[in-house]
Amino acid sequence: MVIGEGTWIGQQAFLHSAGGLVIGRHVGIAPAVKIVTSSHSLAELDRPILHGALEFASVEVGDGSDIGTGTVILPGVRIGRFAQVGAGAVVAADVDDYAVVAGVPARLIRMRR
């Protein structure tokens, strides 16, 4: 796990870094944000999902971005520089630099520039 200088992390945030986690400089991470870097494999149909192999994928949060309260960021996602993620979003795909996303799943609302 790498956390850049000037980053603020709110209360009750859960930062899972087994798959790799890089949080840039001057990032705001609101309370109750969850960042997850692993999931269980769904490949074995006759095996309980809980007992499936773990698959790891890194997460990157770009410099100057802001992650709203209660957001969930799933494995393998890259959040671009100066992006805004709305409260309660579930981020399952990459977010471009300067994008504003929100919703479940998170979708582009607008660009900041």
Distance CA 57, CA 113 (A): 30
Distance CA 71, CA 67 (A): 7
26 part of the active site: no
Q: How many CB atoms lie within 10 A of CB 60?
A: 17
One of 16, 26, 40, 51 is an active-site residue; which one? 40
Cβ atoms of 55 and 91 closer than 8 Å: no
Distance CA 27, CA 7 (A): 5
Beta strand pairing call for 38-40 and 54-56: antiparallel
Residues noted as catalytic: 40
